[in-house]
Structure formats: structure tokens, C-alpha cells
Structure 1
Amino acid sequence: MKNKWLQITLSVLSLGLAVLLVVFLPQIVRALTGKPVSWAEIGAVFGSLGLGEVAMMAALWLLSLLAYTFVLTNSLPGLNNLQGLTLNAAGSAVSNLLPFGGAVGVAVSFAMTKGWGFGSRSIVVMALVSGIWNTLFRFALPAVGIIALLIAGEVPNGTVANAAWTGAISILVLCLIMAVALYWERAAVLLGRALDGITRLLRLRFHASEAFHRLRADTAGVVRSRWLGLSLGMVFFLGFQWSIMAVCMQAIGAWPGLAQSIAVFALSRVLTSAVITPSGAGIMEGGVAALLISAFGVPDAPAIATALVFGFWTYTIEIPFGGLALGAWAFLRRRNGRNAAAESTSAISKAPQ
């Protein structure tokens, strides 16, 4: 009971903080950039959005949800796309309402897939594989953003450019090493030894290689046979999400350029990892607006409006949509349970006496 009330209290505080961050977003942006803006100006920018542009963003949002179902169906053989969509929507809704909501989202996913007849081990492997692929791609995104800016010449001097290239390539190499180690036995052994060396250097009292090899043993079969589907699912999922941001920027008048938009999108996905609010709500919007204004010269009101509209399509709308998906699953499960009970009773009554 104590844990329950603690969770409720933390959730209320976390959601309250997210709301406050959004309500005071103009003041936060002013503190970060020194440029004043009012809600009246932001509201005027919202009014410039046309119905066609909103419809296009809605279509891209639905396509992004559909793309992510392929990550789940490749993580759990036998899962179909409709089940994957339901699973993604319900898990996202829970994660978006609670601090550290990812763990609760996994629990919801476990209950749903268990109800569909999947075994516990398969479900655990699905959670591991989809989580690993999400992490790998989110680690790689900052490198993609940095490289996009370098190609576009958005760096102040050669020294900074060299440092940026080094950082971007290092991030991509680390992601590649991790992915290859999950696929290739020899690479896994070498990485395990390297991890043990790091833990010894840091004087940590556990064997990192053992944990890594257990993880690899659980996921290796799925990774080896389905890595391409997993990767394409993540690429299209993130691509459609970036497209939402791009359409929003174009419609609102906040387009900073192709490379710059990729960098802003990369930052937005990194900031969703801030666990102080559910899915980084409020923090993501502030970071996106500040980057657009301070680094790329986008006017204040369009920059903040872009951050808020993008946050709506990647966070807010997932809560009611996921609630509907979870409610539909619970209703169908209850109805199927009643039907099964009725059939069992009928069979008993018809049995020869």
C-alpha cells in the first residue's frame, strides 16, 4: 500500500511538473534565449495551421504507429500487426502517464501478450529485443544530427567540426559494435572481455560479461533472423516522426533547413529520455524551442508552436488513443472469457448422465 501511494504521489507530481513546464514555456524560453514571447503570439501561429496540414500530420502519425508494429512483430514471432498496434498504443499510454512509466508499460505488454497465448520467455525476449533496438537507434540519432549539420556547414570553425566528426563517428561505431556483438559470437566474446576490463578498472564487483552473455543468449535467435525487419521498422518509425516535425515546421513557418530539422528531431528524441516527467514532457518542448531560436534563428512564437504541436503528435495524443486500445482489449478479453465459460457450461449440461 505504501508503494502504491508513493507511485500515485510521484505520478501526480511528475504530471504536474510537465503541465507547469508547458504553461510557463514562454518564460522558460525567454530565460534560455533572452527573447520574450507571449501565449497570444503563439496562439496566433496555431491559427495559421490549415485542415489539410493537420490531416497530413495525423496520417503521418498513424503511419509511424504502423511502422513500429513491425519492430514488435519481428521481436515476437506470431504477433500480428493489429496486436502490435494495440500493444504499442497501450504501452505508450501508460508510459506517458507515469514517471519511469516504461516499466509499467512492459508489465501491461506482458499481460496483453500473455492473454494472447504467448509464453513468458518469448515475451521477455520481445521486451529485450525491442528495447535494445530502441536504445541503439536513439543513441545513433545524435550522431546522425551532428553529421547532418556538418554536411550542411553549420559549424563555427574547423576545430569544432573535427570534434563533431570524432564524436559522431564514435557514437556510430559504439552502436555498430553492440549490434554486431549481438549477432556474431566472436565479437560477443571480445566485447564481454572489454566490459570486464572496464568493470575491473572501475572496481565494480560484478561480471559484466556474464550479464551480457545472458542477454545475448536470450535475444540471439531473434536478432540473427530478424535484424533487418527490426531495423527497417525503427528507420520508418523515426522517419515518419521526423516527417511530422517537418510538416509542422513548414506549416508554421519555422523551417530551419533539412540538416537543422534532423538535428532538432534528434534532440527531441534524446530529451524524451528525461525521466523527471513522463516521456520528458515539457522538457522536450523547451529544448526544441530553445535550439530552434538560439541556434537556427527561428522566431520565438513559431519555434514554441512547433515544439508544442510536435509534442502533441508524439506524446499527448498517444494517451487517449492508447486508453481506447487498452479498453478495447480488456472488453474483448472479458467477452471472450464469458463466451468460454458459457460454452463450458453448455458442454457440461449436454454430457450424458
Structure 2
Amino acid sequence: MKNKWLQISLSVLSLGLAVLLVVYLPQLVRALTGKPVSWSEIGAVFGTLGGGEIALMTGLWLLSLLAYTFVLTNSLPGLNNLQGLALNAAGSAVSNLLPFGGAVGVALSFAMTRGWGFGSRAFVVMTLVSGIWNTLFRFILPAVGIIALLIAGKAPNATVANAGWTGAVSILLLCLVVAAALYWERAAVWLGRAIDAVTRLLRLRFHASDAFHRLRADTAGVVRRRWPGLSLGMLFFLGLQWAIMTVCMRATGAWPGLAESIAVFALSRVLTSAVITPSGAGIMESGVAALLIAFGVPATPAIATALLFGFWTYTIEIPFGGLALGAWALLRRRNGRNAGAEPPSAISKAAQ
């Protein structure tokens, strides 16, 4: 009971903090950048949005949801895209409402996949594989953002440029090594030895390589057969989300340039990992607005873009996920009633 009430209290506090960060976003941006802005000015920007722009954002959002279903269907063979859409929507809704909501989302996803006839083992593999791919691409994004800025010549001097290239290439090489270790046995052995060397250097009393080898044993089959589908699914998902941000920037007059838009998008996805609020709500918007202003965008359209993008990648997923969860529960209840009403003779024949 204590843990339950603690979770409820943390959830309320976390949601309250997210709301406060959004409500006081103009003040936060002013404190970070010194640029004054008011809600009336932000509202005026929203008032300029046209029906075509909103329709385009909606279409891109729906396509991004569809793209991510391919990550799930490749992680769990036998899952169809409609089931993947419901699974993603319901899990995202829970994660967007609760701090550390990923654990609750996993429990909900487990119940849904069990209802569709998938076993526990298959679900665990799906969770591991999709989690690995999300993590890899979350690491890759900052490197892509840095490289985009460097190619566009946005580094203030040669020292910063060299540091940027070193950091970006290091991140990409690390991700490449991990991906290779998940695919090839020999690479996994080498990486395991390197991990053990690091743990010995840090004087840690456990073998981290054992956990990695167990992880690889659990996921190797799916990774070897389905890594192209997993990777394409993530690329299209993130590409469509970047397209949503691009439309938001264009619609609000906050377009900073191609390289800068990629960097802002990369930062936004990294900030969603801030667990102090559900999915980094409020924190993501503050960071996006501050970086846009640093790139020379006026404060009002910068904040409007951050809020609009947050709506399409966070807020709207809550009611949409609720609808998906309600539909799943309704169908499950109806199927349960149909199974209970079926005569024993028919059930025995179906089993044969």
C-alpha cells in the first residue's frame, strides 16, 4: 500500500511539474535567453495556422505511428500492423501520463499480447529488441545533429569543430560496435572482453559481460533475421517526426535552416528521456524553444513551435491511446462472451 501511494504521489507531482513547466514556459524561456514573450503573442501565432497545415501535420503524425508498427511487427513475428498500432498507442498513453511509465506500459503491452495468443517468451524478446533499437537510434540522433551543424559550417571555430567531429564519430562507432556484437558472435566475444576490462578497471564486483551475452542470446534470432525491417521502421518513424517538426517550424515562422532543424529535432528526442516528468513533457519544450532562439529564431515562434511539436508527439497520444485501449478492452470482452456462449461440442471440434 505504501508503494502504491508513493507511486500515485510521484505521478501527481510529476504531472503537476509538467503542467507548471508548460504554463510558465514563456517565463522559463525569458530566464534562459532574456527574450520576453507572452501567451497572447503565442496564441496569435497559433491563430495563423491554416487548415491545410493542420491536415498535413495530422497526416504525418498518422504515418509516423504506422511506421513504428513495423518496429513492433519485426520484433514480434506474427503481430500485425493493426495490433502493433494499438500496442504502441496504448503503451505511449500510459508512458505519457506516468513518471517511469515505461514499466506500466510494458505490463499493459504484456496483457495485450497475451490476449492475442503470444507467449511470455515472445513478448520478452519483442520488448528487448524494440528497446535496443530505440536506444541505439536515440544515441545516433545527437551524432547526426552535430554532423549536420558541422557540415553546414555552424561551428564557431576549428577547436569546437574538431571536438564535434570527435564526439559524433565516437558515438556512431560505439553504436556500430554494439550492433555488430548483437549480430556476430565473434564481435560479441570481443565486446564482452572489453566490458569486463572496464568493470575490472572500475573495480566493480560483477561480470557485466554475462548480462550482455544473456541479452544477445535472447535477441540474436530476431536481430539476425529482421534487422533491416527494424532499422527501416525506426528511420521512417524518426524521419516523419522530423517532418512534423519541419511543418511546425514553417507554419509558425520559426524555420532556422535545414541543419539547425535536424539539431533541434535530435535535442527534442534526447530530452524526452528526462524521467522527472512523463516523457520529458515541459522539459522538451523548454529545450527546443531555447535552442531555436539560440539559432536566431524570435522567441514567440520558437515557443509556438515547441508547444505545437509537443502536442503532436506527446499530448495527442494520450486520448488516441485511450481510444485504442478502450477498443482492445471492448473486443476482448466481446470475444470472451462469444467463447463462453459457444456450445461445448463446437469448442471441442475447434480444438481438434
TM-score, normalising length from structure 1? 0.97
1:155 to 2:124 alignment: no
Give the structure 2 partner of residue 246 of structure 1: 246
| Structure 1 residues 249-268: aligned runs within 5 Å | 249-268=249-268
1:15 and 1:197 mapped to 2: Cα distance? 42
- After the TM superposition, which parts of structure 1 deviate over 2 Å for at least 4 consecutive aligned residues? 344-348
1:339 corresponds to which letter in structure 2?
N
Q: How many Å separate the matches in 1 of 2:346 and 2:130?
A: 42
What does residue 192 of structure 1 align with? 192
- The residue type paired with residue 341 of structure 2 is A
2:86 matches 1:71: no
Cα separation, 2, equivalents of 1:227 and 1:168:
23
Q: Deviations over 1:233-267 (max 9, x none)?
A: 00000000000000010111000000000000000
- The residue type equivalent to 1:180 in the other structure is A
One-letter amino acid of the structure 1 residue matched with residue 259 of structure 2: A
Where does structure 1 lack aligned partners over 5 or more consecutive residues?
Answer: 349-353
Q: Within the alignment, does 1:339 sit opposite 2:338 as a pair? A: yes
Does 2:198 align with 1:204? Answer: no
Alpha-carbon separation, structure 1, partners of 2:343 and 2:117: 19
Corresponding residue for residue 136 of structure 2: 136
Q: Which amino acid aligns with 1:329?
A: W
Partner SS state of residue 97, structure 2: coil
- Equivalent AA in structure 2 for residue 248 of structure 1: C
Secondary structure of the residue aligned to 1:96 is helix
Aligned position for 1:292: 292
Unaligned runs of 5+ in 2: 348-352
CA deviations over 1:270-294 (Å, ceiling 9, x no partner): 0000000000000000000000002
Q: Does 2:324 correspond to 1:325?
A: yes
Equivalents in 1 of 2:231, 2:285: separation in Å? 27
Equivalence for 1:86: 86
Q: Secondary structure at the match of 2:203?
A: coil
> Does the residue aligned with 2:70 lie in a helix, a strand or coil?
helix
Count of residues in correspondence between the two structures? 347
Residues 1:59 and 2:59 aligned together: yes
2:350 corresponds to: none
Cα deviation 1:80-125 (Å, max 9, x = unaligned)? 0000000000000000000001111111111100110001011000
Shift of 1:328: 0.5
**Equivalent in the alignment of 1:351:** none
Structure 1 stretch displaced more, 134-143 or 200-209:
200-209
Q: Which residue in 2 is equivalent to 1:146?
A: 146
- Shift of residue 127, structure 1, vs aligned partner: 0.1
Q: Distance in 2 between matches of 1:219 and 1:281?
A: 31
**CA distance in structure 1 between the partners assigned to 2:102 and 2:80 by the alignment:** 22
User: What residue identity is the alignment partner of 1:15?
Assistant: L
**Letter of the aligned partner of 2:335 in structure 1?**
N
The CA deviation string for residues 26-60 of structure 1, in whole angstroms up to 9 with x for no partner, is: 00000000111111111111111101000000000
- The 2-side partners of 1:129 and 1:95 are apart by 19
One-letter code of the match for 2:312? W
Q: What SS is found at the alignment partner of 1:206?
A: coil
Percent identical across equivalent pairs? 86
Q: Which residue of 1 aligns with 2:110?
A: 110
| Partner of residue 309, structure 1 | 308
Structure 1 residue 344 displacement after superposition: 4.0
Matching residue of 1:19:
19
Distance 2:103 2:175 in 1: 23
SS at match of 2:99: coil
